[in-house]
Structure 1
Amino acid sequence: MTVDLRQPTAQTTETPDRFSSVSVLEGSPHGILIASADRGGTAVYANQRLAQLFRTPVPMDPGGIAAAAQLLFDRNGESMAFDDSPMGIALHRRRATRAEVQYRVPGQPPLWLDISASPLECTYGGQPLAVSYIHDVSHQRHSATELDEANQRLAEQLEDLTWVHGLTERLAGRGTLESALARVLEEGALLLHADMGVARLFDEEHGTMATQAVFGLPPDPLDEVHIALEKLTEDRCLMDEVAEAGGALIIEDVATDPSCTEAFRDLARTAGFRSAYAVTLSASDGRRLGVVGWAFKQPGRPTMRQRQLTNTYCRFAGQIVENTQLYERERRIASTLQQSMLAQTLPHIEGVQIAACNLPGAHGMQAGGDWYDVVALRDGKVALALGDVMGKGLGAATAMGQLRTALRAYALVEGEDPVAVLTDLNALTQNMALTDMTTVLYMTVDPAEHRAKVVSAGHPPPLLIDQSGASFVRAGQGVPLGVVDEWHAEEKEVPLPPGALLVLYTDGLVERRGEDLGTGLERLRKAALNAPSEVGELCAYLVEECLDEGANPDDVAILAVRVR
């Protein structure tokens, strides 16, 4: 059987009852191709829509379809042989198939085609036939690609925000200014693939830049790299250059960049880098705090995404550095105030040996309110006081100084009545709103009578060590000061045989994270059994025995007295 595919003539008259089949094919919105297996693949018929799709006439010469297949590629972008195309499969393997292919003409965007091909039950010139329906899906493909790219960008932005959020959380947990800046340099180097980095802060008082942290550089400040780095302060301030560059400065090649000074080129030669990227650290009010910079051994520049992420990270880092500076300044003031308000010398009291120490906490950014005092009373007696103001920082240190001063005044007036002293101190605390809560332990010692009177306002019990062993004096307990309007407790009289040792302490000596207070108290009691006989050595001994590897997360105050 043969098929007649002649084009309709101008004289053809089409009516609803009679019309040409070819005109139906020409009116199709899809490309239609009928081909035979002659010479591997020869076009027998192609409608005008197909030529419009390919933007070129369909080759009608023998074997032309197979030859044109060199421009076909599969959806993965790999070259597709004609026999593996939908038309080739329909012609030669005689089965229907469908596939999405790309038609790629050099210099033009790829044409995405959805092709369905089926073998025909007829021949042409003795050769089997197949028909293909070709639909242009480029628009859908490009839209899907744009959507995928948009989703990818959103996913990257979400990933970037998550990454920056995680970095800032870890950064906020750094204890000191140096450790925070070291974290900024380390994380930034991972992001930028940098080889080294430096963080320098501006000293407003002296108008100079000082190195605070380094990455990938020798730690020794006397190394020639650090010497070359410090020479930058003698030249134009790098922070000004970064600010004038919009907050971020890129130097693609130190050797050829005309903006590089000789001091900077000398630093590059000494440290061994060729390119650099620097970002300003700014406070929340826009005030410039300093510069963080990274350097690379090869010329080049970070990508746009790397720069955007680094700049975002450094904006958060600037705020954290600002807060850390404020905390450290307050800590220095509070620590100075706290130390100045403690007893600088202990009075000499006949018949007793007294020792005291105060250790600031190793963690946190603020000083606490631990304090002690020793007051000489009439008739050779002595008053011992030790307290802990709730809170940290300048407020706690100020409250501590006021409480210590007031207690000393009350002790000089009514010091032999411990309950009266703490009752008056509670009234003052309430009246002046010094603090929400403070614990205080107050006792008087009479070395001639070998006895002591003890009263406590919510403070850990004093430890008594004598020939019978070590035990806590748990009587005389009242609530902390500042909690109730009317404070009261019953004092406890404790006998002090010759050689007896009393140890007063704050909770920092016995508390450890993750364990109950009873465990810490028992650790102190056992340690005291082997305490050195010399009171002056007692504080260092107890700190070593009771604190975890010598570290004290909280402030510690110790006051010890031995009766001769």
Structure 2
Amino acid sequence: MAPIGKTTPVSAPHFPKVAGIDSPSPHSPHTAATSAALAEGVTATPSDRTAPDEDVANDAAHTANAVTDGGPHGAPLHDRLAGWVSELTTLHELTERLAATGSLDDALDELLRAGAALIGARRGLVVLEPPTGPTDVTSPAGPTSLTSLTRGYGLSHAELGHIETVPRALTAYGRILEGHRDPAGHPAPEAVAHPDILGDATLDPLRREVAVRLGCAAAYTQPLASETAGTLGAAVWLYDEPAAPVDRRRHLMHLYVRYATEHLARLIEVARARQTVATVAEELLPSRLPRVPGVRLAARHRTGPLGGGDWYDALPLPEGALGLAVGSVSGAGPSALAAMGRLRASLRAYAVMEGEDPVAVLSDLELLLRLTEPARTATALFAYAEPAAGKVVLAGAGHTPPLVVGDRRTEFVETSLSAPLGMLSCWEAPSIEVCPQPGETVLLYTDGLLRRGGDPMDRAFARLHAAAASVPRAAREDPGAIADHVLHAMVPADAAGPAGPDVVLLAARFD
């Protein structure tokens, strides 16, 4: 528990120097007493224009005209004009930083940091609850629901948990969030300042206890709302001592948050579109892998932000055989997903008819692609496996070579060179026969696995070989563990999540 007025090293962020904003450490610029000159002459509530700094600019221009007219108060007006110009510069810099963020997490972090600098707070949190239906976004930490997203600034997970124990009806941000769902149509409340939490005799005992535990003496709550986006959530900034931002700082905060709300609304729409694409891509792939005696299967799939056309398939064939396929369609977005679905469905039909001849399967697939979608190309690899005989016959069209992983060897299968499907008037390449030993795993993958790290292809192949060779001996019994190990080694931690191209891994372990 942190004592009142002090913060732990985890909850005490360091503010960067920002033009027009002094560091809150030496003094308290947020109190009315120390900012009376700044508060003097504050204009009325701004109109809802798109540019957040137009109101401050108009005030500055109006004051400049008054200064040019001369008068006994010329010097104070010059000082006031200089202050407005500084604030306009600050607002511009902060909105530029926010506009540079490309993910929801980064935008929320920047919002909390900038808001804390504007009003002189040290900690804060934002609760995001978009008014439309639930949606999930993918982040490095895993799926995150946009139904309710809480993010802290200068607060540990435990401290955020303490705050969430307070019933929402007792908090200002809770009343703001419930306001836009009011069946009577009442508008959401405005920004709320609580300058002396512990001095409030009407404060709920549970909220007082949490405030004491956090060392929180004052709070300022700002709705994340605009006319076009509606109310997306609320942000709360916490002070270590009794304080409240002056009117001028509240006005700047209103302008900044109005712009931030629009930016967050755009990022939310992008996140929803990406999740929709990812969902469609997953639905076009097998919902489960077949069980065939003598072989165990595992698959891993990562969808890129635009929804690429990487795919995989595994289907049982007559006489205990198994068809394995991976491929990639050129392009991205819904059209690539649709082409991928058509190509995969066609390959399944060709595999049932002539799966024992992988060259014939890919030849038929090439003809179909050339006739139906002449402007599109694709790579594919099809393998006809006979687990009982310990034999795999495969053919590839412009695709990356499979990798055999076992206790005694880790090596690429030398497939013949061939162009991708749709690039030649008539495609044909010889097939290759591989005889995996019991306990060995054949790893099929798309080139997205090699391009995720940004290395040249020769170095990427070397990294893949090293990753497969370093699979722990105990993990080689499980094809899923092999796929996870290789994927973790090839995809950097900062590239996890929606960034980068599609990745497909299909592992077949022969018993």
Q: TM-score, normalised by structure 2?
A: 0.65
Whichever residue aligns with residue 463 of structure 1, its letter is L
Q: 2:508: which partner in 1?
A: 561
Change (3 A) 1:216 1:263: farther
Aligned equivalent of 1:190, options 117, 141, 148: 117
Q: 1:104: which partner in 2?
A: none
Whichever residue aligns with residue 325 of structure 2, its letter is A
For residues 354-412 of structure 1, give each alpha carbon's deviation from its aligned partner in whole angstroms, at most 9, with x where no partner exists: 42221436xx7566543311122334432210123456666655554443233212221
The 1-side partners of 2:226 and 2:397 are apart by 43
1:353–1:535 CA contact under 8 A, matched in 2? no
Range with greater deviation from structure 2 (455-464 or 393-402): 393-402
- What SS does the aligned partner of 2:91 have? helix
- What SS does the aligned partner of 2:166 have? helix
Change (3 A) 1:528 1:253: closer
The 1-side partners of 2:340 and 2:436 are apart by 33
1:475 has 2:434 as partner: no
Change (3 A) 1:355 1:448: closer
Q: Residue 226 of structure 1: CA displacement? A: 1.9
Aligned equivalent of 1:493, options 429, 432, 438: 432
The 1-side partners of 2:147 and 2:213 are apart by 19
Whichever residue aligns with residue 119 of structure 2, its letter is L
- What runs of 5+ residues in structure 2 fail to find an aligned partner? 1-68, 135-145, 181-185
Q: Residue 215 of structure 1: CA displacement? A: 2.9
The 1-side partners of 2:71 and 2:132 are apart by 64
The 2-side partners of 1:392 and 1:284 are apart by 34
Aligned equivalent of 1:534, options 471, 477, 482: 477
- What SS does the aligned partner of 1:502 have? strand
More strand by share: 1
The 1-side partners of 2:72 and 2:364 are apart by 84
Range with greater deviation from structure 2 (185-194 or 412-421): 412-421
Among the aligned pairs, what percent are the same residue? Answer: 28
Q: 2:94: which partner in 1?
A: 163
1:353 has 2:291 as partner: no
Aligned equivalent of 2:451, options 507, 511, 524: 511
1:383–1:445 CA contact under 8 A, matched in 2? yes
Q: Residue 345 of structure 1: CA displacement? A: 3.8
1:173 has 2:102 as partner: yes
Change (3 A) 1:246 1:447: closer
1:196–1:295 CA contact under 8 A, matched in 2? yes
Q: Relative contact order, CA 8 A, sep 6+: which one is greater? A: 2
The 2-side partners of 1:423 and 1:547 are apart by 33
Q: Residue 212 of structure 1: CA displacement? A: 1.1
1:106-505 alignment to 2 at 5 Å? 150=81, 153-154=84-85, 156-169=87-100, 172-174=101-103, 177-178=104-105, 180-202=107-129, 204=131, 210=148, 212-220=150-158, 223-228=161-166, 230-232=168-170, 237-239=175-177, 247-253=190-196, 266=208, 271-282=214-225, 285-350=228-293, 352-360=294-302, 368-390=308-330, 397=337, 399-426=339-366, 428-429=368-369, 436-447=376-387, 451-464=391-404, 470-479=411-420, 481=421, 484=423, 486=425, 488-496=427-435, 498-499=437-438, 501-505=441-445
The 2-side partners of 1:295 and 1:497 are apart by 63
Q: Residue 475 of structure 1: CA displacement? A: 1.0
1:279–1:293 CA contact under 8 A, matched in 2? yes
Q: Residue 518 of structure 1: CA displacement? A: 0.9
Change (3 A) 1:561 1:200: closer
The 1-side partners of 2:457 and 2:287 are apart by 31
- What SS does the aligned partner of 1:375 have? strand
- What SS does the aligned partner of 2:129 have? strand
Change (3 A) 1:146 1:227: closer
Change (3 A) 1:548 1:428: same
Whichever residue aligns with residue 464 of structure 2, its letter is L
2:98–2:107 CA contact under 8 A, matched in 1? no
Q: Residue 339 of structure 1: CA displacement? A: 3.6
Whichever residue aligns with residue 212 of structure 1, its letter is T
For residues 131-160 of structure 1, give each alpha carbon's deviation from its aligned partner in whole angstroms, at most 9, with x where no partner exists: xxxxxxx96998798678656644542343
Q: TM-score, normalised by structure 1?
A: 0.60
The 2-side partners of 1:269 and 1:188 are apart by 23
Q: Residue 161 of structure 1: CA displacement? A: 0.7
The 2-side partners of 1:438 and 1:283 are apart by 45
The 2-side partners of 1:544 and 1:236 are apart by 40
Name the larger-Rg structure: 1
Instruction: Give aligned pairs, total.
Output: 417
Change (3 A) 1:281 1:189: same
Superposition RMSD on alpha carbons, in Å?
A: 4.5
